[in-house]
């Protein structure tokens, strides 16, 4: 009997390793190519604006697909859809490395994103149904740590690969890992898949696509061409109209792509909103910090990357411990503490100047990463514990959707505030760092960090109110 329990526990953790590695690769590929874009543009003989679509297309396609595959996972089985995602992602990665024209590269990149969306949408659901309640927080915490590591480690790992090999290896590195993960998953796939005799809501998917794609294009490129540009305004208008159409379609559909009933659960909605604020804040710092280190402080890329690794290293250590603690003491207090510390770290970052002490820089980044590590695991556990068993795919896909939305909004918001502040200081419109005018950069940077701190603080206050209400209700229920 003891051996059976041990084998079962071993199988669970192998399943977790597979889902965590897959999630890491999927999120890593959203940022790992950034450092190689200039070289890719040169090899493919295209301009800077055109090569930027290598990043944008990946993020847009993942976000468009994630709800579809989350719903498909609930209907056809999360394990099946997850394995499909591994195969498509691996094939797309291989094709990305052998293409020699931008159109083919973008097509392969979109294929890669479809696979990433399929596996990403179902990883949390697989973990939730595979692990018992007393281990779930720790398992989701480890998976969450790999999400954050993938988002943050991309530039440093990409720089290392490009330095010692061609940019093609940024994609080819996924191939052996993807094949190995698929083969192991055939034997260790977690709890048995369930099937529902339901249909996919393709009309809802169409409206959702017409909502997300124009919105992302407007947010990403509006900061460059100006949000008053006719094209950007049209994109916003199409997104708004499609968003309204999607909402009413889902309300009337008997088997919707996104069951809006799950948002009736106040705790679920609060957890999702707080996750959104945390990823907005995370993206703000992740975008501005490299400019601060390399431009304002004139650090070499190598030295800057050392400081950039502080965040993912602390996060990787704290997130699993936070997940373990949430299994023992409950997740509510940890989410409040996590968002509070993240907000404090962002506030402290706004005071950085041209000659910061090394310990100060390390401490401020460390406070941010500690807070985010404390928050992510318990919040993921809260989200997934409030979703019905037959909606785990949708719950996990909503979590992934909010993560991507938070990243895009955070990037657009931080760069808009940064360049807006610099433009106000200089008396002319700028969309990049201005050599010799660190005063303008620091002015814009402080505004961006303070804004991110306030957004994160709003999430901390809301989840704090949730904690108070939860503790008041607990004696009544007990």
pLDDT given for residue 5 in this prediction: 47
Q: What is the pLDDT of residues 394-434, one digit of tens each?
A: 777 787 788 888 887 887 788 888 888 888 888 877 767 77
**DSSP designation for 173:** T
Please state, rounded to an integer, the average pLDDT across all residues of the chain.
Answer: 81
Same domain, residue pair 233 and 374: no
Return the residue matching tokens 């890329």. Answer: 301
Classify residue 236: in a domain, yes or no: yes
| Residue 339 lies in domain | 262-478
147 vs 276, more confident: 276
Give domain status of residue 71, yes or no. Answer: yes
Q: Of 190, 211, 229, which residue is a domain's last?
A: 190
> What is the count of structural domains for the chain?
3
pLDDT reported for residue 236:
92
**252 and 269 together in one domain:** no
Residue 137 lies in a domain: yes
The answer to whether position 247 is within a domain reads: yes
Domain co-membership, 135 together with 233: no
- The answer to whether residues 67 and 158 belong to one domain is yes
Contact 318, 370 (CB under 8 A): yes
Last residue of a domain, one of 154, 171, 190: 190
Q: What is the pLDDT of residue 3?
A: 45
Average pLDDT over residues 245-260: 86
**Does an H or E element contain 352, and which?**
none
Residue 1 has pLDDT above 70, yes or no: no
Q: Please name the residues in contact with 461: beta carbons below 8 A apart, sequence gap of 6 or more.
A: none
Q: Are residues 472 and 347 in the same domain?
A: yes
Residue 411 lies in a domain: yes
- The reported pTM is 0.78
Over residues 24-44, the pLDDT tens digits come to 888 888 777 776 777 788 788
**Is 101 inside a domain boundary?**
yes
Domain stop point among 169, 190, 211:
190
Q: Is residue 196 part of a domain?
A: no
More confident residue, 94 or 471: 94
Percent of the chain surpassing pLDDT 90: 14
| Whether residue 330 sits in one domain with residue 212 | no
Rounded Cα distance between 82 and 88, Å, is: 10
Token look-up 């939305």 returns 405
Cβ-proximal residues to 230 (8 Å cutoff; 6+ apart), any chain: none
User: Are residues 22 and 134 both part of a single domain?
Assistant: yes
CA distance 70 to 255: 13
Say how many Å lie between the first and final Cα of the chain, rounded: 34
User: Which sign, positive or negative, has the C-alpha torsion 466, 469, 475, 478?
Assistant: negative
Whether 365 shows a pLDDT value over 50: the answer reads yes
Q: Are residues 252 and 270 in the same domain?
A: no
Question: Does residue 318 sit in the same domain as residue 374?
Answer: yes
Sign of CA dihedral 338, 340, 344, 346: positive
111 with 225, same domain: the answer is no
At 472 the pLDDT is 65
15 and 124, same domain (yes or no) = yes
Residues 224 and 355 in one domain: no
pLDDT of 443 higher than 80? yes
Q: What confidence category does residue 91 fall into, taking pLDDT thresholds of 50, 70 and 90?
A: very high
pLDDT band at 2 (very low <50, low <70, confident <90, very high): very low
Residue 356: CATH number of its domain: 1.20.1250.20
Determine, yes or no, domain membership for 226.
yes
């Amino acid at each position: 009997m003891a051996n059976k329990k041990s084998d079962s526990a071993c199988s669970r953790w192998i399943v977790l390793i597979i889902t965590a590695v897959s999630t890491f690769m999927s999120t890593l590929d959203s940022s790992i190519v950034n450092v190689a874009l200039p070289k890719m543009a040169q090899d493919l003989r295209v301009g800077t604006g055109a090569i930027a679509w290598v990043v944008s297309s990946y993020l847009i396609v993942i976000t468009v697909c994630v709800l579809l595959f989350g719903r498909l996972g609930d209907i056809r089985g999360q394990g099946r859809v997850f394995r499909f995602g591994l195969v498509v992602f691996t094939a797309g990665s291989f094709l990305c490395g052998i293409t020699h024209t931008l159109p083919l590269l973008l097509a392969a990149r979109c294929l890669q994103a479809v696979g990433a969306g399929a596996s990403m949408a179902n990883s949390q659901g697989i973990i939730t149904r595979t692990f018992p309640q007393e281990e779930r927080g720790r398992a989701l915490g480890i998976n969450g740590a790999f999400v954050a590591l993938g988002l943050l480690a991309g530039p440093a790992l990409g720089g290392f690969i490009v330095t010692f090999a061609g940019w093609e290896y940024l994609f080819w590195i996924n191939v052996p890992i993807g094949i190995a993960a698929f083969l192991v998953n055939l034997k260790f796939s977690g709890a048995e898949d369930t099937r529902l005799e339901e249909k996919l809501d393709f009309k809802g998917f169409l409206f959702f696509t017409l909502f997300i794609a124009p919105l992302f294009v407007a947010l990403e490129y509006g900061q460059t061409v100006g949000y008053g540009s006719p094209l950007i305004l049209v994109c916003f208008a199409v997104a708004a109209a499609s968003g309204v159409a999607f909402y009413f379609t889902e309300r009337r559909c008997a088997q919707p792509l996104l069951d809006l009933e799950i948002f009736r659960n106040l705790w679920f909605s609060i957890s999702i909103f707080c996750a959104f604020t945390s990823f907005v804040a995370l993206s703000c710092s992740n975008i501005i910090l490299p400019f601060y280190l390399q431009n304002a402080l004139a650090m070499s890329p190598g030295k800057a990357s050392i400081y950039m690794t502080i965040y993912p290293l602390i996060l990787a250590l704290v997130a699993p411990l936070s997940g373990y603690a949430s299994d023992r003491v409950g997740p509510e207090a940890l989410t409040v503490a996590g968002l509070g510390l993240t907000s404090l770290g962002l506030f402290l970052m706004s005071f950085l100047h041209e000659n910061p002490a090394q310990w100060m820089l390390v401490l401020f980044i460390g406070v941010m990463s500690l807070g985010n590590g404390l928050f992510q695991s318990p919040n993921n556990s809260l989200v997934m514990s409030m979703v019905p068993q037959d909606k785990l795919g949708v719950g996990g896909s909503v979590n992934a959707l909010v993560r991507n939305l938070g990243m895009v909004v955070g990037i657009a918001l931080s760069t808009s505030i940064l360049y807006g502040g610099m433009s106000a200081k200089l008396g002319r419109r700028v969309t990049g760092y201005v050599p010799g005018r660190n005063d303008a950069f620091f002015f814009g940077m402080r505004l961006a960090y303070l804004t991110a701190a306030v957004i994160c603080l709003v999430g901390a206050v809301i989840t704090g109110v949730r904690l108070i209400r939860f503790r008041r209700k607990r004696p009544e229920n007990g």
